[in-house]
Structures are given as C-alpha cells and as structure tokens.
Structure 1
Amino acid sequence: MHTRVIGGWGFDSAVLAHLGAAQPWYQTLELTEPTVLIGWSLGGVVATEALDHPLVCGLVTLATPGHFGAQVDPRFFHRLQRSVQRDPGAALARFHPWIVGEPFDGKRADTVQLDQGLARLAASDCAGSWAQSPVAQLHLVGRDDVLFSDTDQHAIDGGHGFAWQNRGDTTNAIEAFIDAL
C-alpha cells in the first residue's frame, strides 16, 4: 500500500521520513495510486481535507486536533499568531522547544507560510470531516501533548512530537492499521 506523509507547521517534513515519502503541508498533494495519507499536526488537517479524493483509501492523523477552536487555548494561539507576524523565525524558535520538548537548532525548521498555516489550523474542524467520511481512519495523539488532548484519539507515549520521538510505537500502530485495510 502506498503512503504519503504530510508534515506539520514549522517543521521540516523530513522528521517524518521514517513513516514514508514526506512532503510539507503547503505543497500540492498529487496522488496517482491508492494511498494512505499520514499527517502530523497541521499535516493531519491537510490530509483530512483530502478525504474525499478518490485515491485516498486510509487516513492516519498524528497530533491533529479534531476541534481546534475548542482544544487549543485561544490566548496562546493569538499570541503565537502575533509573534509569527512580527518575526517568523523567532516565533518558531520559541514554539519548537515548548511543543516538542527538544532544543531548537534550526535544522528541522520550515518557516514557509507560517502565518497561513496558523490561519488554516484555526479554520479547521477535522472531527466533523472524520465523522462524515467512509474512509478507514486512525487518529493518534501524544499522551503528554502540551498543545491539546483528545480522549477520542488513541494515545501514544510522548508529546506533540511523538511521531518521531516514539518511532517504534507510532510505526507499529500505523503498520497494524495499514495491514488491516
């Protein structure tokens, strides 16, 4: 089964390359064969938006809020939005260690379209799309995610970056899902 991995906001999609062919969230999604989409954070929002594509045969979201507006503190979000508008690189440098628990070294940074990415997150309602789609789905969240929590999603040990911090459990869960398709 073919997979396509869609990276999240502010991170080089290569951090998810262990899960399959990875691309940034802002690149056009082109599918030529039946594909399981795997999206991390904002990448999960983008993957969710593609659920009605005829070649999407499965969806895996990683640390993707189902109800962004209800799950993410709006005060934090607006501060981050203003910070990104003033200085995208500095905002990402502050956001990165807090959200994934790792020091920011700039090597995994992707500052392209940060402001547009935040707007896309704010407008998202993934849970509604998930509920309406007949496509097979798996939704994973980090048990210790500081950005949001969701008891309706399957928890994996780790924070918002569990997809690369806990590669073993994440990969096993995705492989079991794909094998069951």
Structure 2
Amino acid sequence: MTLVLTLAATGIVVQVGDRLISEKGSLKPVDEIATKQVLYRAKDALVSIAYAGQATMAGVPTDEMIAAYLSGDISLGKRNFSERFVLKSSEQNNQIWPLKHALGHLLRKLISHISVGNTLELSITGFVIDAGEAKRFIQTYKLNPDGKRNVERPPPNAKGLCQSLGRGRETESSTKRRPVFVGSEGSWRHMDL
C-alpha cells in the first residue's frame, strides 16, 4: 500500500510518502532501499516525482527507472538489488531538458513497461521558472498498460491544495470540520489556508 501526500500553498510545496515497495497484495519487501520519490532538476524547474502502483519495471525498481530515464543513465537494470548508486549526468548522457520535454519522454518510456493488470500513478510537484518567476507546478498522471494516460491539474488560482496518491483514507480536520484530503487516487482538494 502506498500513500503520498502533497500540500501546495503560496510559495511552498511539500510532498511526503512512505518508501517501502512490496509485492502486490502483500507486505513482503521487494527492495528495502527504494524510495517511491525522485527529485529532478530540469532546465526550467525543480520537481519531486512520487509514484504509486507498479513497484518494478523490467525487474528494476520504479524509482530507479524514473531516475534513469530522466538522466539518460546507461546502466539501467544492471545493478544488484542489494546495492544502490546515485544516477548522475555525464558528458555522454547529459539530458537536462525543459520540464515539459522531460515529462513527455518519461511518460512515453514508463507506459511501455506497465504490466497488464497494473497502473502507475505519478504526482509531480515543484516549481517551474516562467518569465523569470518561480511558479507552482502540480500534475498527477495515471498511466495504463494499454497506453492511455489521464492527467489531472488543480485549479491554477487555488491558494492551498492537498492531495493523496495511493490508498489514503478520509480524515477530519478538527478546526475546519471537513475532510482535509480524500484518499481516492489523483484527487485534489482545495483548502482554505
């Protein structure tokens, strides 16, 4: 079970989640050092990419697959599950793209690895530089093995937003007496901050 929470308000974006990836339908760990989140510095943005759903792709933990596709790392899938290394750009694979290009590339690559009966949800949150100004960037994708993808964007004028990705549950705010977040995948909830 995965739970990733994202809070976005004016000037701040926070994304937290559990990190253990397990076999579908059990709590048996697949990779005890996987993270379910990847930080990515694009040419025009800095974002956190969190995922829920398919834990591995072609035998590689999904977080490493995401990092490898964004960095152009050629050692994809050549590591032992007991070791972990930092993926970094080199002169041969320097792929620091604008965020829009990077996400298009990433989504095309990931869809090709989704197994039948699985989905992959991505919550991409951070800041993008637009006309010299840092602007909040928030998108949620649901990828299916048939190649279809759904994208969800919150209202651009919302002052505060909270979202849960994965299997959350509704909680009651003691001060507002209404749900703070709703655990249906990819749902954004406006908050009065």
Select the structure of larger CA radius of gyration: 2
Give me the TM-score of the superposition, normalised by structure 1.
0.30
Q: With the length of structure 2 as denominator, give the TM-score of the two structures.
A: 0.29
Structure 1 or 2: larger strand share? 2
